[in-house]
Amino acid sequence: MYDIEVAVRAHARLGEGTVWDADAQVLWWVDIWSREIHRFEPRTGKHCQWQTPHEPGSLALRSNGNGLVVAMSNAIHCFDPSTGMFTLLREAYDANWPARFNDGRTDRQGRFWAGSTDTRENAPAEPVAALYRLDTATHLTLQLDRLFCSNGLAWSPDGTRMYHADSHLRRVWCCDFDTATGELAQRRLFIDMSEVGIPDGATTDAEGCYWIALWQAGRILRYDPDGDLMAQVELPTRAPTCCEFGGENLDVLYVSTANLQRGALSTDVTDPLAGSVLAMDARVRGVRSMPYCG
Domains of the chain: 4-281 (2.120.10.30)
pLDDT digits (tens, 9 = 90+) for 178-206: 999 999 999 999 999 999 999 999 999 99
**Confidence class of residue 268 from pLDDT cuts 50, 70 and 90?**
low
**Confidence class of residue 156 from pLDDT cuts 50, 70 and 90?**
very high
pLDDT at 95: 82
Rounded CA-CA distance 37/136 in Å is 23
Average pLDDT score over the chain: 94
Rounded CA-CA distance 119/158 in Å is 34
Catalytic machinery residues? 200
pLDDT at 143 over 60: yes
Handedness of CA 158, 161, 163, 164 (dihedral sign): positive
**What count of other Cβ atoms lies within 10 Å of the Cβ of residue 190?**
21
**Confidence class of residue 264 from pLDDT cuts 50, 70 and 90?**
very low
